[in-house]
Chains A and B, each alone.
Chain A
């Protein structure tokens, strides 16, 4: 597929390179020529010159000159981005015009929910990522690209980077509830959509709506924060064509390193001795068999990772966008193709099929705006996406778990007779898993569409307009696959005879494809409203009123998810100094009882632009200073729990086999006890912020917030007797407070030949459970109340038992009989028994601190960009095969050399005595396995070189830039000694690794 795409892109590239703007059409009339200058008298190129109400247009050349044929009485319209458009009536006057364009009002427009506000009138806490910077990251998954770039956002990978399955978890201002649904509401072009598989080139802006003023428009869906993404649109001006081709490779950021057979066997025997178990009689457990030239089938020393993983796998991306338009029609068109390969080796040893994982994605988008009349504007946004994923039938989790478990001497990959090797204990062989379990193709076809119109209603009321939009998304997904099973064979020698014991079954690849997860989903959103703005110089008023409804249906789920409501807001500004806003939503969700579905969510906010006061006017350093504040109520109606918790629930099913025919009979059973009055979680959010601009020095912004989440769903499980015999009703009875701040500082410096910019951001959020229906009378440390909602609980390890006397004098550890070298825990409640009641909070899963540092340097044609990101205040538990050596028959890393050993390592051991048994004491969740999950990563680094402009103008090319970039280049953390990734410590051990990407490409603009 990709080669075709390359060819296609190439042809398109050629075709577009020769494409020029349409020449002025030959129509009757006179020819007007002229020149367009800016206020400084410099000619302005690429100005759109058009005749109003006619499809005639041209553009100024490099010297600002133009020539257009116009019939008398028409009006010429001059426009270019960044300048205020000018209209010139041709009733009279000369045929030669000199037009002066003034730079447009520099006031930045900010995307707010369902609308825009100018930067100065904005009273919300919103942080954003500029579109261009996202294009500099080579990862296909956008959720991985946003990390570190702005405030109020926590982005942590939840899994490794298996191609196509590499989403990050996203939180806005940490979490504010102890329930499972903590994700922000994510919107793309005002419709609830996931942006992760969009191409960065499609994105115009990415905003994080943080405080109640910003999120209140979403009412019952706003409490977890909102991410508002807008795609690019066309503009009036000469077409911009942008082509990017890039290719690179991904390599695991780190992989655990395991010891070879001789060391493994030595340590294994040591562990057996610790366990009081006899040493195996089998000579496979004699380390000396691995020193020299032992029979490799009898005494294997297999590097499982090396044998089955490539050092790197390729990826490539091709993108083309076309953007421009006239005063009447403006367009943005995009197409892109992305592909990523997996890192398994030996995916092609089975001649019947190849199982090399592959992710391919095709993105297509066309956003068109049409001015139908002077007052009616229509837009049609259509996008399509194809996502194909090819994987072996054995999951990445199972393949990596096997790789990380298999000891080097467990078996060879293939036996002497070339059959696939295995043993009674190790019945999975990666060779079989990769090449002989079949494959699966997952297909997703996604169509996204927004169609809408805005009608100005100035004839009714100046400044009034109405808008209506319908969004329709459809997803079709299914998997096709073929499966196969394989047997493994264990060589068994007794005396002179050799036989093979067989485990599992060899089957042929299934003849027919099997279809899984066959389904579809759709989302239908309707959005309509009125907006009004009035500016009388002294005071200004902006107001919106919106109606929204949406229905999401996915087959497999029985019933649609629906949302409905109205929202509105009015912003009043006085003398450009004082702004105040009232916003509200009245909306509901299908999850609650009729009559109890809708909530009213108000928010007030205000801003004071101190710099517009007389005492700061004309100040040489402070060019802008604003103080903001907001307070309001938002809700979380998505509970992540059973749906419709208000209604009495009985279920069919759960029958039983009666009768000599063994038929299953009907069954029915009662579900959770209902609570007819159950409602959503409510959050009272307060925010105070300051925005400061010091001319040519820095921009600075800081926000403090205090979110008080009430009505959190709980059950009285801790209080109501279990003899009731049924799941207890959900109640609105929990409270969490979440506090923190965010700050961002940036600095730009641009000289003629060189310049740089730097931006630093920090976000802090810390939550605490205030109440959640716990019994009274427990010691303080046992309560979840007062602790973080994402706390990790475990025992406090205080060393290792020295000897039998130490054991006798210590509290009884109830998990398993202990011996010297086992982990000793602290008796928190002094009852002389160590059990689960001695668990304390040993860390937090979600970081309190998020940092980002972004920089850019340019010198002549060269440019450099970087993003550093980091987190603080996160704990990870290391519980996987590479740390828990010898557990579950797994192998050994060099961590085992730190193990406690009598008379050898008693004082400086950092690891409990080795054991082959599944020790319930040592492998309890405890501080022994907790490590700081903090890290600082060089997330993104790009170096580019743009060819000098003078070479390019001759061939009608605006810009050619060559670049080299990386993602996840380096990580500074405290678990690198284990060769694990601090972001996802299980990656590469029980799942696909975290990848590092090196990428190079070319970008051409016309």
Chain B
């Protein structure tokens, strides 16, 4: 083989290799990847990063397969027998099976707030991707959201790590698990910081963002929780006092943009109502109606209020049904507190221009189909009767996280504990109750209640006013009432039609037995996290 041939051969071999052999062939034809720097130097994406964090706020319309958290306590029963929410009622929750597991989601939200706060001082500032005038408000929002996510965690798990920096795989294990009280201080700190920076109120374009009152509402709620028996075993009155002060500050923010609606039902169908201090985004949906319309109206009829809740509504004379001689147990749904008609769909209630039939054999009668009512009631609150499920129409449906009414209840409760049933306690409750009564004087509690009588009244007031708003579930825990109340059966009403005179007869019955184990005052920390060794399990769940 001569030299010429060899050269030819080698060049041929090489040319086939270099045909297209530079590595560029494997490059993307267009680099569509967004990096951290691109995001935070962009005038749309940088503020968009904060907007996105709001998605991590929890919404209570559909916690797990259409069930509300209310079905996990004495407010309601979920009619779908396979619903996971049932395991709150039968004691089956464990550290690897908890339908309300929010650990990852909340710490995900917290990471986002920490990234944003970090970038606010670096890339965003350097590139001016967010105008200087908007930055303080956004800083306030980020601090508020971080406090909110930590609050959602701490009310469930108690002792947890508090995260205020962006973690890496290497250092994530170094964040200590701190006590409930330490958590409260950190959260209150974040609330205070956010309060400084947040807007008083937002312009039209920014409606729905956190405002100063949102931060104050969170502070009021966490201080109330911190003062409550579960977390205040020594009944330190200064804790109650601190809670009362926070609630009072919030009450004093009342004004043109903040205050109570004139009617209870308006709160839940007025977008950006002045009573709402923070809510999730008003998405257009009919999922909640699909889940909760009674079956013959095209829904699934999932949330069935219990008799326990129905009995908590006063009569229209402002008295508990057990004390009011005007109350007629053979016509149990007549002459009740106005709120009853906004919350409960009962037998005979007019819904979509016909009467709801929950009597046995009725169109939506008790146990007439697999998800027909199990208690004799359907849910009215939040349900929008204008929705036509057959046609698929939708409505705006924000989930209310804080509303102004809570301030009156927080204040009254904390003050009653700190100072006894003083006049301001009566006044606060009256302010809240009076919109429910045609004759407003009936809204006033009778004078001369003892501290504990007042306490019982206020507990019931919260149960009724805040029904289905994810308060009862936590209130029973912080009051340490859960062992007593959640070990009682859920009750329902069996209604029979007397064919002869088309009257109804009513009979209370046990829907199901319920179990509450004292370890369930706190959720178990997810097992998958405990195994990693950086957090200790809560007592009773080890």
The digit string for B260-293, where 1 denotes a CB below 8 A from any CB of A, is 0000000000011000000001111000000000
* CA–CA, A85 and B352, complex, Å: 91
Cβ-defined partner of B45 (8 Å) among A466, A492, A666, A729: A666
Does A830 sit within 8 A of B, measured CB to CB? no
B48 touches A650 (CB 8 A): no
* CA–CA, A836 and B87, complex, Å: 14
Does A807 sit within 8 A of B, measured CB to CB? no
Chain B residue with Cβ nearest A461: B9
B371 touches A425 (CB 8 A): yes
Given A425-B369, A460-B8, A721 and B175 contact (CB-CB distance below 8 Å): yes
Given A423-B369, A659-B206, A670-B36, A562 and B48 contact (CB-CB distance below 8 Å): no
Does A837 sit within 8 A of B, measured CB to CB? yes
A668 touches B1 (CB 8 A): no
Count of A-B contacts with CB under 8 A? 268
The stretch from A65-73, A171-179, A275-283, A307-315 touching chain B is A275-283
Cβ-defined partner of B363 (8 Å) among A461, A501, A566, A719: A501
Does A295 sit within 8 A of B, measured CB to CB? no
A564 touches B92 (CB 8 A): no
B360 touches A658 (CB 8 A): no
Chain B residues at the A interface, C-beta cutoff of 8 Å: 1, 5, 8-9, 12-13, 16-17, 19-21, 23, 25-30, 32-36, 38-39, 42, 44-49, 51-52, 54-55, 80-82, 86-87, 90-92, 94, 96-97, 103-104, 107-112, 115, 161, 163, 167-169, 172-173, 175, 204-209, 271-272, 281-284, 295-296, 298, 360-361, 363-364, 367-372, 390-392, 396, 526-529, 531-532, 534-535
**How many whole Å from A305's CB to the nearest CB in chain B?**
22
A817 partner residues in chain B, CB cutoff 8 A: 90
Does A910 sit within 8 A of B, measured CB to CB? no
Interface SS majority for chain A: loop
Does A291 sit within 8 A of B, measured CB to CB? no
Given A666-B45, A814-B92, A815-B92, A722 and B104 contact (CB-CB distance below 8 Å): yes
Cβ-defined partner of B82 (8 Å) among A492, A647, A658, A918: A918
Does A777 sit within 8 A of B, measured CB to CB? yes
* CA–CA, A656 and B141, complex, Å: 14
Given A501-B296, A652-B34, A658 and B207 contact (CB-CB distance below 8 Å): yes
B529 partner residues in chain A, CB cutoff 8 A: 721-723
A650 partner residues in chain B, CB cutoff 8 A: 34-36, 38-39, 45
Please list the 7 inter-chain residue pairs (A to B) with the smallest Cβ-Cβ separation, ordered nearest first: A918-B82, A725-B111, A666-B48, A424-B295, A917-B81, A657-B281, A668-B45
A466 partner residues in chain B, CB cutoff 8 A: 12, 16
Does A505 sit within 8 A of B, measured CB to CB? yes
B295 partner residues in chain A, CB cutoff 8 A: 424-425
**How many whole Å from B355's CB to the nearest CB in chain A?**
12
B36 touches A648 (CB 8 A): yes
B110 touches A725 (CB 8 A): yes
A666 touches B82 (CB 8 A): no
A-B residue pairs in contact (CB < 8 Å), sample of 7:
A530-B16, A594-B27, A659-B206, A723-B110, A815-B87, A836-B97, A916-B370
Please indicate which of the listed interface residues B8, B33, B368 has the most CB atoms of chain A within 10 Å of its own CB. B33
B392 partner residues in chain A, CB cutoff 8 A: 505
* CA–CA, A725 and B531, complex, Å: 17
User: Which residues 707-740 of A have a CB within 8 angstroms of B?
Assistant: 716, 718-726, 728-729
Cβ-defined partner of B532 (8 Å) among A661, A775, A833: A775
B90 touches A835 (CB 8 A): no
B104 partner residues in chain A, CB cutoff 8 A: 722, 725
User: Which residues 549-579 of A have a CB within 8 angstroms of B?
Assistant: 549, 551, 558-560, 562-564, 566
Please indicate which of the listed interface residues A545, A654, A722 has the most CB atoms of chain B within 10 Å of its own CB. A722
A670 touches B112 (CB 8 A): yes
* CA–CA, A920 and B368, complex, Å: 22
B38 partner residues in chain A, CB cutoff 8 A: 650
A492 partner residues in chain B, CB cutoff 8 A: 363
Does A526 sit within 8 A of B, measured CB to CB? yes
A723 touches B167 (CB 8 A): yes
Cβ-defined partner of B97 (8 Å) among A501, A504, A835: A835
B32 touches A558 (CB 8 A): yes
Does A487 sit within 8 A of B, measured CB to CB? yes
* CA–CA, A833 and B167, complex, Å: 36
The digit string for A493-508, where 1 denotes a CB below 8 A from any CB of B, is 0100000011111000
Does A620 sit within 8 A of B, measured CB to CB? no
* CA–CA, A716 and B173, complex, Å: 13
**How many whole Å from A840's CB to the nearest CB in chain B?**
15
Does A225 sit within 8 A of B, measured CB to CB? no
User: Which residues 619-664 of A have a CB within 8 angstroms of B?
Assistant: 644, 647-652, 654-662
Chain B residue with Cβ nearest A888: B82
A658 touches B209 (CB 8 A): yes
Given A503-B390, A505-B391, A654 and B55 contact (CB-CB distance below 8 Å): yes
**How many whole Å from B70's CB to the nearest CB in chain A?**
20
B28 partner residues in chain A, CB cutoff 8 A: 559-560, 590, 644
Cβ-defined partner of A461 (8 Å) among B1, B96, B364, B531: B1
User: Which residues 383-425 of A have a CB within 8 angstroms of B?
Assistant: 423-425
B8 touches A722 (CB 8 A): no
* CA–CA, A282 and B360, complex, Å: 10
A725 touches B109 (CB 8 A): yes
* CA–CA, A91 and B168, complex, Å: 87
Does A18 sit within 8 A of B, measured CB to CB? no
Given A589-B26, A918-B81, A651 and B51 contact (CB-CB distance below 8 Å): no
* CA–CA, A592 and B92, complex, Å: 45
Given A423-B369, A920-B82, A721 and B172 contact (CB-CB distance below 8 Å): yes
The digit string for A904-948, where 1 denotes a CB below 8 A from any CB of B, is 000000000000111110000000000000000000000000000
A721 partner residues in chain B, CB cutoff 8 A: 161, 167, 172-173, 175, 529, 532, 534-535
B25 touches A564 (CB 8 A): yes
Cβ-defined partner of A725 (8 Å) among B35, B97, B108, B298: B108
Chain A residue with Cβ nearest B5: A460
A777 partner residues in chain B, CB cutoff 8 A: 531
* CA–CA, A597 and B25, complex, Å: 11
Does A879 sit within 8 A of B, measured CB to CB? no
Cβ-defined partner of B94 (8 Å) among A716, A719, A814: A814
* CA–CA, A959 and B25, complex, Å: 52
